Structure 1
């Protein structure tokens, strides 16, 4: 089995794509592309059974309705919410609230934060993948799934904060060391140094591991009224089992 992880940014400069091959109870990182352009992302995802993309797949339904109402000149408020509570509903997806409640982490708002720029690119990429015949259901049931490396790392008992950027190289070294101890069956190969040098590369590998968890249905899934929302807004697949279960 091949999984791909994409740490997606609005521009290629902050985008990394990792490819992991799974066989015989082991996993090997066979490719890791930094500064990945659209073509590199698309080709990698097309060649994988499951791909995890670290970027929101959609926008909150209330936000979409709000913007549509504003376009048509008849913005209306919430029937019961006001002030900060109303704005929070506009800014956060159902999956964001679930992740906040279950992990204590707060995903960036695709409607009110700079991650929206990456989401524009993600929406375009998903459209191109759909045209190539891939199932890009935003709830993650198809070839791609939305992932959140910080949440995956936290569930797996690994450091999930303070490892990004050049100034945190020592923390990134520690994270890579702990990942290799927790998953001795994972071979980073020649990309060990790349992961230590770039948080984008490391997050791409974590995204590929998260994609494996999704492929094995070892992640959270929408339920009840969350299902219809996830179809439009996207759904963050948070692992529900340990790293060892990925084998």
Structure 2
């Protein structure tokens, strides 16, 4: 089986793509940074499942607000204090991630994460036109993943590993991951992941995708299933470490 992880940026040059192959053993088949739209579509089409590190949808109340505002039919709120704005900024899954991990995901409504999310919206439409099930709740071929929160679930370093200034922290995190996954063949890509956080996040995304496929992540509850189909759902590992191949 092939599990693909994508660390999606607004531009191709910062987009990481990792492919994990499972055929009795587990190995990194490919890790690249610089994924174009065509590269990503091809990788997703070849994969059994793909995990994308980007919000797959906008908060339902925010979508309603923008539509009503555009039509000039927005009802005046009793107050525009922070509670009202927070409901527009955060998705149901964002609040659940915060509840479980203490980490607050970037807001697709109010932060720069919207730029890669816009790119994903275009890719989602392209994949849907090609007949792929890209349902945002993870019931199709794509899972939404969040590497930092997954690392937190695995009790690994989840902050201070991004960018050139955190090279030492990133190398230490790679060493932690190697120790936790002695059954994973890094196939020569360990140094790339230590140098480039986009490559590393893509690898983590692929590992979390495998966990979600194996049933080792938390799905949306029945109560949240409908809203997850619109907003997306971040799949967080439920186990304390990634699942070895022999434990399937």
Corresponding residue of 1:84? 82
How far off is 1:78 after superposition? 4.6
Residue of 140, 145, 148 corresponding to 2:143:
145
Secondary structure, counterpart of 2:243 in structure 1? helix
Q: Give yes or no for contact 1:216–1:246 (8 Å, CA) kept in 2.
A: no
Residue of 170, 180, 183 corresponding to 2:181:
183
For residues 244 and 93 of structure 2, what CA distance do their matches in structure 1 show? Answer: 23
Corresponding residue of 1:2? 2
| Runs of 4+ that moved beyond 3 A | none
Unpaired runs of 5+ residues, structure 2, are: none
Corresponding residue of 1:226? 224
Corresponding residue of 1:57? 56
For residues 31 and 131 of structure 1, what CA distance do their matches in structure 2 show? Answer: 27
- Does the C-alpha gap of structure 1 residues 142 and 246 become closer, same or farther in structure 2, counting only changes over 3 Å? farther
How far off is 1:212 after superposition? 0.1
Q: Give yes or no for contact 2:211–2:242 (8 Å, CA) kept in 1.
A: no
How far off is 1:20 after superposition? 0.5
- 1:30 aligns to 2:29 (yes or no): yes
- 1:47 aligns to 2:46 (yes or no): yes
- 1:127 aligns to 2:125 (yes or no): yes
Unpaired runs of 5+ residues, structure 1, are: none
How far off is 1:12 after superposition? 0.7
- The alignment yields a C-alpha RMSD, in angstroms, of 1.2
For residues 227 and 246 of structure 1, what CA distance do their matches in structure 2 show? Answer: 29
- Does the C-alpha gap of structure 1 residues 244 and 224 become closer, same or farther in structure 2, counting only changes over 3 Å? closer
How far off is 1:68 after superposition? 0.3
The 5-angstrom pairing of residues 100-111 of structure 1 reads 100-111=98-109
Q: Give yes or no for contact 2:207–2:242 (8 Å, CA) kept in 1.
A: no
For residues 34 and 216 of structure 2, what CA distance do their matches in structure 1 show? Answer: 30
Corresponding residue of 1:16? 16
Corresponding residue of 1:154? 152
Q: Give yes or no for contact 1:5–1:19 (8 Å, CA) kept in 2.
A: yes
Q: Give yes or no for contact 1:136–1:144 (8 Å, CA) kept in 2.
A: yes
